[in-house]
Every structure is written in C-alpha cells, then in structure tokens.
Structure 1
C-alpha cells in the first residue's frame, strides 16, 4: 500500500506532467504557424502572424514559469522516482531554471522580433542588400545578449545561447571537435585539390521542377516516409518540423541541380524520420521529444551522407531517377556515386556544399557568431569579415550579400549558437552508422536492395524511442558503447575520399 508521501509524489508528478503537456501543445501550435509562415502564408500576413506567435510564446513562458511549476519541481526533488520520471523532472527543471531567469516581456519581444525579421531577411536576400537587414540583426543580437545575461550573467553569453540547442555537450567540446575537423579536413581537401582525379558531370543538364518533385516523393517512398503523418512542400530554406503525429518535410528545386533536391529531401527525411520515431505515448513530455540538435542533425546527416551519398544507394535508386529523367539511363552507378561526392571548394553556399567543405562553412559562421555575440565584431563589418574568411578558408570570395552573409535563415530566427550542431551531428552520424554496422553487419547489400528497415529499426531502438530520457553523452554511449568522439567520422571521410580521389597516405 502506497504511503502518503508516495501518493503525494504521484500527485505532484501527474500535475507537473499535465502542465508540461499544455506547454508542449502551445509550443507545437506555434511550430505549425511558423511552418505556415515559411511555406504558404500570404506575403502580407506577417503583422498578424508575429502577434500570434508572440502570444503563444508568452502563454508557454507564463505556464512554464508559473509559481506552481516551481512548487511541483521542489516537491519532487529528492523523491524516489523511476528512471523515466526522473528524466522528465530533470528536463523540466532545466527549462524552468532558464525560463524563470528571463522576464516574460523579453520572451515576447524576442518572439515578435524574430517573426518580423523573417520577411526582412527574405527581402534583403532577394534584393542583395545586407544594409536593409543590418538593423534587424543588431536588434536580435541585443535581445539575445540580454537573454543570455539574464540566464547566467557570469558565463560566456555564446555558451549560454549554444546550450539552448545542445545543453549537454558543452561549448568546449564543440570547439574541440570543430578544431579537429579543421585540422584534419583542410589538408585532406588540399590533397583532393592536388589530385588528378576529376569527378562529377553525371547530373549536368536541366531538370524540370515538377519531375524533381515527383522524384523527391519517390525517394521518400523508398526510404519509408510515413505519408499518413507527413507531407512534402517547398520552402526557400528547406526544413522539417512537427511531432511524432505530424512531421513535415520541405525541400527546394533548382532546374540545374537535380542532385541538390535529392540530397536535401533525404536530409529532411532524416529529421522527420527521427521525429516520427519518437514514442507516441510520450507526446507532450520530454519522453516524446527529440534529444536536442546534435542528435537531430546526426539523423539527417546519416541518411543524407552515409546512405544517400553511398555507391549502393545509387545502384538502387538510379533506375528510378532514370525513369523520371531518361538521359540518366546512360549514367553508370559509379558515375552517379562520384558526382554525389564531388569535392568542390569553390562553392559559396552552405546548403549546396559537399560533405567535406561543408564543415568549413560551419566554422566560418561559428567564428563570426562568437565575435558578434561578444561585441568584438560590429554588424556593419560582417559582410567584409564573412567574405575575407571565405577567401581564407575556401579560396573563394562572395560577390554578393545574397550568396554570402544573407544566404542562411538562422540569424533571422535569432538562432545564435545553432550552427555548430550541424558539424557535431555529422560527427555523431558516423559514430552511429559504424555502431549499426557493428551490430547488423555491413549495410551495403541491404541499401543496394532498397532495404532500409534494419537500419531504421536499429535507429528506432537505439536512438528514437528514448526521446529525451538520456543526456546526449549518455545516449551516445548507450547507443554506440563509446563516448562521443570524432574518430569514426575522420576514419569514414579519409577512407572514402582517399579511395575516390586516389590519394596516397589516405
């Protein structure tokens, strides 16, 4: 028979979960409105949408920071909770402690500012006019510095903002991984540049956008996307959003870049597939939420690179692509594979970058963000620093703001600290894929036959089903048996690109 203390603990936990579910539903509703804003909302809808999103964020903030939420958390501190209950309390405590540090007025102001920033960025990019976006960027930086100062006035503000997206891998870990990627990838990319091997050409030509959309649906079908809980649309900057009951994918089409739409679609499938793999019965609580952005990005990069850029995948998928685009019938599997992995350091666009130089794009953004948040770089000087850094790291210089500093949507969202998770996730993708092969055996033959259930089943069991039960380091070690490390990624890229470009010593 339960004691009075145990009954009180049960009651407090149930009440806390009920509050969290309300907060989650409000937040999810805001996500649908943001999806609508970026995909189908009329151009003049921004003022009302900004007010709607601001209201929802205020409601969620007030519910989370309500005195009763704190009382329930305090009541549960030190209680004998099972593993799942303790995880829920841990995650809510972390969010509560951060949220109660920030005034509700500031939360509302940030939400409204980011909603209004999106169309400003969009127009500035279209007009190739950074100066038009600069005041908005300055305002968002000031708001985010203030936000970070409220949470921890003694900490590096960038570390505080980074923890918004990856709370359990600290900024020192991120810097260590990024430094290793730079140290390892720069000489590898230089060796590739000196190689006599030339890849590419298999996907040259013009490709009708409607047929590309049909092919994107083909690839989603092949990978096992659940259309009863998802949909495909287009957006200027592809993204995926939603819950385990409604995880939507967006992509974009360039009639001169068929490969780009395929890899973009596979990338966003990875995100949506993770979301769809979260447990239904955890919906509305941390047990039904993803484990932050490093893990989320690992899923998109695993499917995009380890599956979608593999030779077995093109052996499987090339005939389908040739049905949509008959000229591809003359392309061999090897030619398609080589084209999918061509390294070209003259590319200016992050989302179109190859698997290796991609990380230099991330490092550029990471370094500039840190300087902006610290106040060591003025907003008006960002285009110059951006262009200089691209020239230093990649040997190319943007000629326009649209293909330079304005290419990404993230700063208009106020998402400072987000970019490092792209590289951190790529590193984790390699570690997870290697662990899956250790357990399942080589996956090449399954991929060549279009059989993805075993890999997806392993990911469901090892990653997806846990939601936010474990911290990132604990989840990685549970899934792979090893601590988070860049070793598998470095081994993967050096072996793969050493063979592709016939490099001595790799």
Structure 2
C-alpha cells in the first residue's frame, strides 16, 4: 500500500508539473505568433508597441520557468520512478531551468526588447546599404549576449554557451570538427569544379517570371509535396522562415521575377521545416515531447527536402511539366537542363540563401568565424564589414561591394542569434546521413518521380518527427540512422553528385 501511495504522489506531482510547463510553453508560442506577425504583416509603425508586448511575454515566460515552484517540482521528480517519456520531459525542462535561473529576469527582458527594436534597424540598414545604422544595436546585442553567457557558465567559452542555446547535445567541438572536415574536403572539389570545362545548362530558367504566377506555382508544389494547409499557410518575407506548432506551422518565401528557382528551392526548404513541425505528436502539444529536437535536426529536414528531393533528377521529371504548364516559355527546357540549372555551382555568389550546396558551407564558416570573434572580443563591431569582406575574398575569391550583399544580408544577429549559423551545416550533414539510411529501405527516386511522397513522410515521421524531444540529438541520430553523427555521408554524396555533373 505504501508503494502505491508513493506512486500516486509522484504521478500527482508530475501532473502538476506538466500543467505548469504547458502554460509556460503556450506563453512562448503566443510570442512566436507575434514575431511572425512582426516580420510578415505588421505595419512598420507597430514596432514600439510590439517590442513592449514581446518584452512582457518574455519576462512572464522567464518568470514562469524560473519560479521556485518549477524548481520544487523538478527536485521532487529528480529521483522519481518515471517512464521514458516522463524522464525526457523532466530532462528537457531541467536543462532550460538551470540555464534560465542563472540569468536575471531584467537581462532577459532587455535582450527581448533590444532584439525586437533591432529588426527594423537591421531592415533599414540593409535597404539603405549602411552598416552604421545597425552597428550600435549590434554592439549592444553582442554585449548583452556576452553578459548572458557569463551568467549561464562563467567558466566556459561564451560562444560555446551561446551555441548550446540552439544545439545543446552536439557540443561546439563536434561542430568545429564537422566544419573543418567540410572545409578540407569540399574546397578541393570546388576548385576542381571551377577548373572544369563542363558546359552545364545554367541559363535554362532565364527570363522574367511574374510574382503572382510564381506564387501559384509554388503553391501547387506544396500541394504536390503534401503540405497540410489546414495547419499552415504561405506568405512572403524579406528573409524566408518557418515558425509555429504542429497545429499551425507557417512558411514564408520570397520572389525574384528573374529567378523562379530561388523561390522554388526556398519554399521547399521552408516546407521541410514546417512538415517536421506538423509531424510532431498532437497529443504531446505543450510539452517537450511535442517540440522539435533543436536546430541541427530541424535543419536536416529542410535540407533533406530542398536538396535530396528538390534537386534530384527524379523531382525534375515530376515537376518540370507542371512548371511548363505555368510558364509556357520553358517548354523547350529538358529535364536534364533543369537538373543542371538547379545544381550548378556558382563561383561568384555572395548571398548565403542563394548559394549552391557546396559553396554554401563556406558562407557558414565565414559567419561562424566572424561571430566567434565578435563574442570573444577579438573583433570590434565597426570592423565587421571589412573582416567579412576579407574572408569572402579569401574563401570564395569574391568581395562584396556593399554592406547589403555583405554582412547585412542575414537577419540572425538582429534576433541576437549568435551560435545559430553552425547548425545549418550540421543540418546539411545530417540530412545526407538520413537520406543514405532511408535509401537502404525505400526507392526514394522512384517515389519522388511518381509524386508518392507519403512513404517518405511516413519514414521521417517514424524515425525523426514523431519523437519530439524524447531523445537527445546524438541519441536521435543513432536511433534514426543506426550510427553516430558523421560528415562522411555528406562528403561522399557531394563528391559523387557533383563529380558526375562536372566530370571531375
């Protein structure tokens, strides 16, 4: 009887704890809707009120997480007899709680207010091609994030502390090893491609393509892929992104009338993010088990759909006739020409979101090195444009002429998101590892060619999406692929694909 009574007490303790965490999660989700609104539809004059609203929600969320009652629940459940799912929930909340309780509420509120006010300043600086407009705010954000890292772990590398905000279970050393391997093994391939005499059909999609017709086409593609419109929507934003929950996972894209491929790949990329979110367990909403497993895994899903589906020959066999129906001027384009155009390697591209699969990682390495230097204090904010441009010249052989196409091109720093960029390359690497494992069980190309995406989606739901945060990142990777995280599959994939394309 005593044992039963103890179990009942623990169950009641866990239920009270879970109710508290669900309320905390909903406050954060509400803030997410306000951020989406700010970046997509809010009138420009709304910033002063929106910054206060987000700051207030940030403070409330922080106070709910760090309240003594949350700590009491966690302490009571530390050695309780919990099942696997309950243990995972406690583990995830404990990690958040320990970080949050080390940071004063006033600092959290100040960071939230500053990032909300930073967005319009970054946007104006980019529009006016003037880094000095954004520089003072960036300097403030760097100082605030250093202070944040100091509170979380005064003995650790501050950049490692910030990186752990986005990827807590793959440490910075792992990220550094992956980026080093990519730099060492991809640069020779990129150099060989630059020296290649291969004549790819790089101009297959040249012309002017009206924005409304592009939007109609990408909506058709989302239909084809299986986007759940009952739980999502498509809008435009200066910097495409996806956000939301399994009940409301929205995507944004952008259109350039001279570049229909850009809108297509951007939309498919964000679809990958959204379909991961939509695939999270409905019955776990409000708990860590109903949330995605950090950014490297999230990025693996977007890069899987963008590159391992959307840039394949099989995909172009399926989608080119539909594109030609929307744009009859493309009727003479062949599948092979479309495939080549979608996979060309650029030697003169300065923009990360427009980069090809290979040079993309050089863009990430540059950002990784610049923001590491910023956070460590080895680089002053005023020197960012020059150092940025020098690194582009060193790594890619090109130099930005403007701040807008240089250090102002990304929105991340205006969000205070230092440590975010490495997860893009980690996600690309993981996408290749998942793809290689999936192809041992499924004929992926045949399914894509026939427009049968349900099997692919079911596979990802079973091996990735449906777990939420049940596993840590490293455990999830082993669960999904049968082996530890490795960059070898991406390097092999890149060498085989682009070696064949460019005959190198």
| Equivalence map 1:66-145=2 (5 Å) | 66-145=67-146
1:219 matched residue in structure 2: 221
Q: Does 1:431 align with 2:433?
A: yes
2:352 matched residue in structure 1: 350
| Equivalence map 1:76-475=2 (5 Å) | 76-199=77-200, 200-440=202-442, 442-475=443-476
Q: Deviations over 1:333-378 (max 9, x none)?
A: 0000000000012100000001110000000000000000000000
1:10 matched residue in structure 2: 11
1:487 matched residue in structure 2: 488
Q: TM-score under structure 1 normalisation?
A: 0.99
For residue 311 of structure 1, report the CA deviation from its aligned partner: 0.5
For residue 4 of structure 1, report the CA deviation from its aligned partner: 2.2
How far apart are the structure 1 equivalents of 2:421 and 2:217?
29
How far apart are the structure 2 equivalents of 1:272 and 1:433?
18
1:25 matched residue in structure 2: 26
SS at match of 1:439: coil
SS at match of 1:330: coil
How far apart are the structure 2 equivalents of 1:184 and 1:346?
20
1:37 matched residue in structure 2: 38
SS at match of 1:456: helix
SS at match of 2:250: strand
How far apart are the structure 1 equivalents of 2:417 and 2:165?
9
For residue 3 of structure 1, report the CA deviation from its aligned partner: 2.1
How far apart are the structure 2 equivalents of 1:8 and 1:451?
49
For residue 439 of structure 1, report the CA deviation from its aligned partner: 1.8
How many correspondences in the alignment? 502
Can you give the 5+ residue segments of structure 2 that lack an aligned partner in the other structure? none
What RMSD over aligned residues (CA atoms) do the two structures have, in Å? Answer: 0.6
For residue 198 of structure 1, report the CA deviation from its aligned partner: 2.5
Can you give the 5+ residue segments of structure 1 that lack an aligned partner in the other structure? none
SS at match of 2:235: strand
Runs of 4+ in structure 1 displaced over 3 angstroms?
none
Q: TM-score under structure 2 normalisation?
A: 0.99
Greater displacement, 442-451 / 290-299: 442-451
